[in-house]
Amino acid sequence: MNADAGIRTIAPGIVLNGLCKTYRTPTGPIEAVRSVDLRAERGETIALLGPNGAGKSTTIDILLGLQRPDAGEVAVFGRTPAQAVAEGRIGAMLQTGGLIRDLSVRELVAMMAALYHEPHPVDETLRLAGVSEIADRRTGKLSGGQTQRVRFALALVSDPDLLVLDEPTVGMDVESRHAFWSALRQLAARGRTIVFATHYLDEADTYADRAVLMAHGRVVADGPTTEIKAMVGTRTIRSTLPLVPVAELRELPGVSGAERRGDSVDLVCTDSDAAIKALLVRHPQSRDIEIEAAGLEQAFLQLTGAGEEEIAA
Amino acid sequence: MSILTYTRYELTRTFRNRRLVVFSFGFPLVLYVLIAGPNRHEHDLAGSGISAPLYFMVALAAFGTMNSVLGSGGRIAVERTLGWTRQLRITPLPARRYFQVKIVTAYATALLTILMLYVAGAALGVSLSAGSWLAMTAMILVGLVPFAALGVLIGHLVPADSVSPVVGGVTALLALFGGVWYPITGGALHVIAQALPSFWLVQASRVGLGEGGWGVTGWLVVAGWTALAGVAAARAYRRDTERPAA
């Protein structure tokens, strides 16, 4: 027992090293994942971002032991995924998945709880996942959002140390999403390690400590979400400034592009500090000035676009 | 892990499935009453030496249990399509246990089908010694083993939306050529029938004549089908788990 506790404190959360996975398909081999490295410390919340086909789901499948990598190493709390799963330490919401029928929500959660040595109490799990009110309803009679929340309950019922969620909020309504993220925050606060894949960049921005961007089976960026935005480093200055030609605005220091929308102009900046100073000096009639950091969306497009060129080159 | 609790919920949801209740319990019972009722005084059905109520009691028990045991395995296809089997693979439930629980559930429905037909049979005048009832039941349960393996195989080969017709079709063919609807006692059909596992299920009624088990041919056929379907099912399962998610 003591040795076990020792391992728990020393071993990091998740280590993926040089993962490769190629699927053989009738139309030829598909390299789903090409040498992916990924680490997550215990208690960290990580967002896996990337377009369809980026390799997110394959990476998650390997992390869960559902797929065996062709090359590379996987460790979850210092064990193999299969060991971590057998110990009930991983809870997961897979990308696709329905619920078996002819049971109530409570019965289904109780059925799955029976598979673990020390499950989370069923009623507490229902409450945490926000499905207490529909606990007596049959699983076949749920809306899409309710089904997702029940699947979330199934991921939580083992009281897992690692929670893996593959596009968890797809199909959730606004209310479900809100309940989902507040539950996830509670879990993160209790020191759970969380990995979630998403298309919604604002979700990564708001809820993750770190974002890992994937494209074409590779990790193209990995860092705090603020850092990733800084890597791209663009900010936009918006100002009401009639009559000034955009060509003139493009000449301003720190400005990489300008666009006019009626009376207002958008200046895309590589150095917004220099740009705002120059703007106020040369065009003091500027008013209603706003400076916006680029969304992760923009950062994402630039980074994955760059990844594509790299591969083509 | 509480495999008993898990099994209890699996049973609960199986018996809540209306289609199963109709096809595995209602249908064989109604057919039995319709076929054996008018012939209940027939003591030697088509030269088989067996009374009509006894012959059809076992024949329709075979029909109903074939359907429920094949269907139980077939429902694995539905759970695969749902992504439920993947969900189970990230729990501590070993795959072996998953199949065991499926088979236990199938046998529970089969036992109920058998008991219901026994009650109906007794009402139509079937009278056997306690030992014969037990021996007959044991033979049916053993005779269902290849069907459990076939069910798991179907569950891994057939798409979810085709499971019902495939299970229904396989049951109908095996019932027809296995002698469920009429005793097959000679000719080419008898040769074919002897090679089918369904024939030996129906033959369990011969216990009523004071005859023993299946004889060597019966055991070989049942064991052979079990081995073949079992190996094929295991192979289909392995291939299925190595495939990426759809």
The last residue of one of the domains, among A170, A204, A227, is A227
- Measured N-to-C along each axis, helices B95-123 and B52-82 cross at an angle, to the nearest 10 degrees, of 150
For residue A240, the domain's CATH number is 3.30.70
Does the beta-carbon distance from A114 to B9 stay under 8 Å? Answer: yes
The two three-digit tokens of residue A210, written as one number = 């770190």
CB B221 within 8 A of CB B195: yes
Number of other CB atoms surrounding residue A140 within 10 Å: 12
For residue A181, the domain's CATH number is 3.40.50.300
Residues of A in contact with B13 (CB under 8 A): 100-103, 107
Q: Tell whether A203 is covered by a domain.
A: yes
Does the beta-carbon distance from A96 to B10 stay under 8 Å? Answer: no
Q: Which domain holds residue A261?
A: 234-293
Q: Tell whether A176 is covered by a domain.
A: yes
Residue A23's beta-bridge partner residues? A30
Task: Select from B5, B84, B87, B241 the residue whose CB has the most chain A CBs within 10 Å, as the one to mutate to test that interface.
Answer: B87
Residue A266's beta-bridge partner residues? A238, A259
- Going by their DSSP bridges, the two strands A210-215 and A218-224 should be labelled as antiparallel
Q: Residues of A at the B interface (Cβ-Cβ below 8 Å)? A: 23, 32, 57-58, 61, 64-68, 85-88, 90-92, 94-103, 107-108, 110-112, 114-117, 154, 158
Q: How far is B75 from chain A (nearest CA, A)?
A: 10
Task: Taking residues B193-197, report their average pLDDT.
Answer: 91
CB B93 within 8 A of CB B229: no
Domain residue extents for chain B: 3-241
Q: Higher confidence at residue A221 or residue A92?
A: A92
Task: Taking residues A110-128, report their average pLDDT.
Answer: 95
In a shared domain, residues A222 and A238 = no
Residue A256 is predicted with a pLDDT of 81
Task: Select from A30, A56, A64, A66 the residue whose CB has the most chain B CBs within 10 Å, as the one to mutate to test that interface.
Answer: A66
In a shared domain, residues A108 and A251 = no
In a shared domain, residues A78 and A154 = yes
Task: Select from B91, B102, B240, B241 the residue whose CB has the most chain A CBs within 10 Å, as the one to mutate to test that interface.
Answer: B91
The last residue of one of the domains, among A227, A250, A277, is A227
3-state SS, residue A259 = strand
In a shared domain, residues A213 and A92 = yes
Kindly give, in sequence order, each residue whose CB lies less than 8 Å from that of residue A209, ignoring residues fewer than 6 positions away. Answer: A44, A45, A46, A224
Residues of A in contact with B14 (CB under 8 A): 102
- Count of pairs with CB atoms under 8 A, one residue in A, one in B: 90
Q: Tell whether A305 is covered by a domain.
A: no
Kindly give, in sequence order, each residue whose CB lies less than 8 Å from that of residue A236, ignoring residues fewer than 6 positions away. Answer: A266, A267, A268, A269, A291, A292, A294
Shortest CA distance from A158: residue in chain B: B91
Write out the E strands in chain B.
none
User: What is the distance in angstroms between the CA of the first residue and the CA of the last residue of chain B?
Assistant: 30
In a shared domain, residues A11 and A151 = yes
pLDDT digits (tens, 9 = 90+) for A129-151: 999 999 999 999 998 889 999 99
In a shared domain, residues A128 and A28 = yes
**pTM, full prediction:** 0.82
Q: In what order do the strands lie in the sheet with A264-269?
A: A255-261, A264-269, A235-240, A287-293
**Amino acid at site B65:** T
d(CA A106, CA A84): 26
- Going by their DSSP bridges, the two strands A162-166 and A264-269 should be labelled as unpaired
Q: How far is A283 from chain B (nearest CA, A)?
A: 57
Residues of B in contact with A97 (CB under 8 A): 82-84, 86-87
Q: Tell whether A308 is covered by a domain.
A: no
Does the beta-carbon distance from A96 to B3 stay under 8 Å? Answer: no
**DSSP class per residue in A143-192:** -HHHHHHHHHHHHHTT--SEEEEESTTTT--HHHHHHHHHHHHHHHHTT-
Q: Tell whether A310 is covered by a domain.
A: no
Lowest mean pLDDT among A199-203, A284-288, B87-91: A199-203
Kindly give, in sequence order, each residue whose CB lies less than 8 Å from that of residue B140, ignoring residues fewer than 6 positions away. Answer: B58, B61, B62, B65, B110, B114, B201, B204
The last residue of one of the domains, among A174, A204, A227, is A227
CB B207 within 8 A of CB B134: no
Q: Is A281 exposed, middle or buried (0-12, 13-18, 19+ CB in 10 A)?
A: exposed
Which DSSP letter does residue B245 get? Answer: P
**Closest among A218, A209, A230, A249 to A293, alpha carbons compared:** A230
In a shared domain, residues A160 and A284 = no
Q: How far is B37 from chain A (nearest CA, A)?
A: 35
Residues of A in contact with B245 (CB under 8 A): 57, 61, 66, 94-96
In a shared domain, residues A147 and A263 = no
Shortest CA distance from A55: residue in chain B: B244
Residue A232 confidence class, pLDDT cut points 50, 70, 90 = low
The two three-digit tokens of residue A46, written as one number = 């990580």
pLDDT digits (tens, 9 = 90+) for B61-107: 999 999 999 988 888 999 999 999 999 999 999 988 999 999 999 99
In a shared domain, residues A46 and A132 = yes
Q: How far is A296 from chain B (nearest CA, A)?
A: 28
**Closest among A183, A175, A189 to A152, alpha carbons compared:** A183
pLDDT digits (tens, 9 = 90+) for A63-95: 999 999 999 999 999 999 999 999 999 999 998
In a shared domain, residues A214 and A100 = yes
Q: Higher confidence at residue A76 or residue B185?
A: A76
3-state SS, residue B7 = helix
Q: How far is A309 from chain B (nearest CA, A)?
A: 28
Residues of A in contact with B79 (CB under 8 A): 100
Q: Given a cut of 50, is residue B246 above it in pLDDT?
A: no
- Angle at the Cα of A56 (from A167 to A140), degrees rounded to 5? 35
3-state SS, residue B214 = coil
Q: Given a cut of 50, is residue A308 above it in pLDDT?
A: no
Total residues found in chain B within this entry: 246
Q: Tell whether A281 is covered by a domain.
A: yes
In a shared domain, residues A155 and A268 = no
Q: How far is A168 from chain B (nearest CA, A)?
A: 14
The two three-digit tokens of residue B215, written as one number = 């004889």
In a shared domain, residues A161 and A241 = no
Q: In chain A, how many domains are there?
A: 2
CB B116 within 8 A of CB B191: no
Q: Given a cut of 90, is residue B39 above it in pLDDT?
A: no
Does the beta-carbon distance from B92 to A85 stay under 8 Å? Answer: yes
- The alpha-helical segments, DSSP class H, found in chain A are 2-10, 56-64, 81-86, 105-113, 122-128, 144-156, 174-189, 201-207, 225-232, 246-250, 272-282, 296-312
Q: In what order do the strands lie in the sheet with A14-25?
A: A28-40, A14-25, A71-76
CB B120 within 8 A of CB B54: no
Q: Tell whether A92 is covered by a domain.
A: yes
Residue B115 is predicted with a pLDDT of 94
Q: Given a cut of 60, is residue A288 above it in pLDDT?
A: yes
Q: Given a cut of 50, is residue A310 above it in pLDDT?
A: no
ipTM of the complex: 0.87
Dihedral over alpha carbons A82, A85, A90, A93 (to 10 degrees): 90
pLDDT digits (tens, 9 = 90+) for A242-275: 888 888 898 899 888 888 888 999 888 888 888 9
Q: Given a cut of 80, is residue A311 above it in pLDDT?
A: no
d(CA A259, CA A204): 29
Residue A230 is predicted with a pLDDT of 67
